[in-house]
Amino acid sequence: MVTAIPTVITMTDGGDTLDLLRLQSWLSPSFPIGAYSYSHGVEGAIESGLVLDAETLTDWIGGLLGFGTGRNDAILLSEASRLALEDDAEGLAQLSEFSLALIPTSELRLEATAQGAAFLKTVSAAWPEIRRVDLPPSPSLPIAYGTVIAAAGISPDLAGPLFLQAFVHNLVSAAVRAVPLGQTDGQRAVAALEQVVDSVWRESSGSGIDDIGSAALMAEWSSLQHEAMDGRLFRS
């Protein structure tokens, strides 16, 4: 899920101005992948009384980052980037299939694949000079993103943390609209999760496919509950 990046970006080795400009475009709320319409089960958690305020929202997203989608997506992104650099189309196809098998509910699958397909379509149309290894139709978003940053020559160590931060921004934005949560409280949650994003990325960068797994069971339960909700604001 991608909608925004931090206002302040620290330059890292391998990152230059063009890389940062492209990442800001690709992770912007205005990038047309429909991220604003998904909540990754947060709306279900709000409806069930599990997310009530900035503190419970911070705990919820921190759990997703450390024990669920955030950590897994970081590993998938890194693997996709590596395989794309090796022009390993078969490996990418297998990784894409594996990433979809990890998704526990139909709504989360839609969230991942619809955004992944839209991301590839838009990048291909607006940046035709970026050549990438072909992917199966409708890959998950971290696979699409990892492949594109490799094709653009952008380091995962620059792009990866921003991807996770964008995931945070999108969930906070959903909570601001659905709790409802004040804008300032939303930004307090974003600020409180900066260190979590950094530590999750650092840990995941030394991990591989065999390290993927999830213990965010309540998040998956909330997604299942969301499928049966009436009057929903979000698609997941």
pLDDT digits (tens, 9 = 90+) for 130-158: 988 889 989 999 999 999 999 999 999 99
pLDDT at 3 over 60: no
pLDDT of residue 50: 97
Name every residue whose Cβ is closer than 8 Å to that of residue 128 and which is 6 or more positions away in sequence. Answer: none
Give pLDDT, residue 29. Answer: 87
Closest to 212 in 3D by CA, of 2, 69, 1: 69
Smallest CA-to-CA distance from 120 within 155, 91, 92, 82 is with 92
- 142, two tokens: 């971290």
Q: Average pLDDT, stretch 178-196?
A: 96
Q: Between the CA of residue 146 and those of 120, 142, 230, what are the distances in Å? A: 11, 6, 35
Alpha carbon of 31 to those of 4, 51, 67, 162: distances in Å? 9, 28, 28, 15
Distance of alpha carbon 190 from alpha carbon 168, whole angstroms: 7
User: What is residue 16's predicted lDDT score, i.e. its pLDDT?
Assistant: 87
Going by pLDDT thresholds of 50, 70 and 90, the confidence category of residue 231 is confident
pLDDT tens readout for residues 59-99: 999 999 999 999 999 999 999 999 999 999 999 999 999 99
What dotted CATH number matches 39-222?
A: 1.10.4190.10
pTM (two decimals):
0.92
> CB count, 10 Å around CB of 152?
19
Break the chain into its structural domains and give their ranges.
39-222
Contacts of residue 164, defined as CB under 8 A and 6 or more positions apart, other chains included, come to 65, 70, 73, 74, 197, 200, 201
Q: Are 45 and 180 in contact (CB under 8 A)?
A: no
Rounded Cα gap, residues 185 and 155, in angstroms: 32
Residue 2: pLDDT band with limits 50, 70, 90: very low
Whether 54 has a pLDDT exceeding 60, the answer reads yes
Query: Which one, of 218, 22, 227, lies nearest residue 123 by Cα?
Result: 22
Spell out the residues 6+ positions from residue 119 whose beta carbon is closer than 8 angstroms to its own: 2, 26, 31, 33, 141, 144, 145, 148
